[in-house]
Chain A
């Protein structure tokens, strides 16, 4: 659910918002993918109030980044949230440092039950550092699900996962037609949780990701208490339209912090060098803000 674009008044300047610089010219100027010189065909780059459209895309991107981070930190595959709508937002640009987005948005359950209407609400501050990934995020959300209920659901999921017979006989999830077998749905949810960490870490003000498909399940171990899950996921980066394979290894036990290691294939460069991107994390148990 995307919000309506915020439109400036029909005539005259944007309005009295002294702290806000409009982003369109800067974003276009900094766009890394263009073959033509930066700023070609764009309006003036001078900072200050401009009579241009506010790119609503940035607010949604910031909201999604905040949710990737939130979902990872919550570490709960049964309580995943997805963006419903951005209610309000503003962006402040410091050309030397980066771009800060403050926003309020609503969320839905990732797996809504039929007829369910629980909209959670979040407020977030997302700071995109110039050209660098891993935006700094400060996010708080109203409770969508009661803590006890969430733990219960997680534990049910965990028990279900323990019952899946190994080795898992799957090729890709979903299949080519978007179908996920109900028995495999928890695997998708857990994979999405691990991928949330990766997607957060890779997000920049220009690059944002979606999880397209689990292309292989390399290992699924439940011999000890925890679920030990090693899989390859295909991430879809929107502005370049690239598909990025990432190998992710996570360890999960309900109520415990999620452990994630990953290794993604680098985006194609003109020299066709194949770099690698690695990262790992353990989610904190407490919801602390930084």
Chain B
């Protein structure tokens, strides 16, 4: 099980401060004769590509599975193409799920991996629950949502880094320790697993879910326009081909419904934070109207504090304000739904950057982004802890 260690090591290194690349792929290469096998051996033995043969061919009719680190993807693809070697890309399992499992394994008293549902293509939806109590009583809880728009990779990456940070710092950092003494934290790093896999295998800039729209050739619904908060209002589209298509009805997307059902059944969430990119904004309701939310003044104050804490690390500046006028009108959003359902501390982060790389944020910015965002998240969570209602 060499490759699990390989993956685990790669991901584990991220918290130690080394660079981390997501998106390693498993290439299934067809080899039809001795000539092709020798070409493939040439590729695999190349030192600087750091390839890892997962399954070697025993006969010519069996394909070879090779683990290709993300940095080597381009040269390997070019080589295979130039040598006329056929291949396909397979992803056996999301790396992030393995890492979640690993965190739960490393911190069994604190963290558990919980399945809350499944995606359209039947991938599991996993949440990490951080709780210092085993009681059946539902403690006040915080929901951290990430990866609802699959192309915003810094969101899933920040979330999984944050997961390990929460677990590692409990008992060491007074802030997170006191937060967890009073509240539970639920973290959903990949709210749109089908979209995420699609961005890794077919289209890096895919945003929506991968559900089928009857009568249309276009696939997918914008999962952040699909919540029951002024559904199909201003700032969404009724065209299935649009990137902001709201879907046929609220909660039509099973990925959204899974979260809604879980939160409603739990009944005691006090805070909902949704991570997106890009633009460097920290926003609060509403997106669906310019009308001021009843708690807007308090939320604005909290957001400003959080943005200040975030900026204190590397000087990254975030703009603060209500969604509608800070970015654009958006109906059916997760944060508006949460707020209208009594979850007062509802915030949206638009993470780095402001457009230079946009969705394709370089991997060497993952840890700096996660570290500064952590300061902002802690500020919000501390305020929630001090102002439980």
Contacts and interface: CB of A to CB of B under 8 A. Distances in A.
Q: How many B residues are at the interface, by size bracket?
A: 35 or more
A24 B320 CA distance: 17
A35 B247 CA distance: 12
A210 B358 CA distance: 8
Interface in A38-95: 40-43, 52-53, 55-57, 64, 82-83
B237 A35 contact: yes
A212 B357 CA distance: 7
Contact of A42 (B205, B290, B358): B290
B363 A5 contact: no
B205 A178 contact: no
B234 A28 contact: yes
Nearest to B230: A41
B239 A243 contact: no
B331 to A, nearest CB: 8
Given A33-B235, A40-B233, A43-B290, A174 B73 contact: no
A243 B23 CA distance: 22
Nearest to A5: B321
Interface string B78-99: 1000000000000000000000
B329 interface: yes
Nearest to A33: B237
A263 interface: no
Interface string B257-294: 00000000000000000000000110000001111000
Interface string A1-36: 111110000000000000000001100100101111
Q: For chain A, which range describes its interface: under 10, 10 to 19, 20 to 34, or 35 or more residues?
A: 35 or more
B362 A41 contact: no
Contact of B234 (A5, A35, A57, A64): A35
Interface stretch (A131-139, A232-240, A247-255): A232-240
A175 B233 contact: no
A5 B325 CA distance: 11
B317 A174 contact: no
Contact of B205 (A169, A170, A243): A243
Contacts of A169: 78
Contacts of A56: 319
A179 to B, nearest CB: 6
A2 B329 contact: no
Name which of B232, B238, B358 has the most chain A CB atoms within 10 A of its CB: B358
Interface string A176-204: 11110000000000000000000000000
A243 B358 CA distance: 12
Given A34-B233, A176-B200, 17 more contacts: A2-B318, A2-B319, A31-B329, A33-B244, A34-B236, A35-B236, A43-B290, A57-B325, A110-B356, A170-B74, A171-B74, A175-B360, A177-B22, A177-B360, A178-B365, A179-B71, A236-B358
Interface of B: 21-23, 70-71, 73-74, 77-78, 199-200, 204-205, 207, 218, 222, 230, 232-239, 241-244, 246, 280-281, 288-291, 317-321, 325-329, 331, 354-363, 365
19 contacts: A2-B354, A3-B319, A5-B320, A25-B290, A28-B234, A33-B236, A34-B235, A35-B246, A36-B232, A36-B234, A36-B331, A41-B233, A43-B290, A176-B200, A178-B362, A212-B205, A212-B359, A213-B360, A236-B205
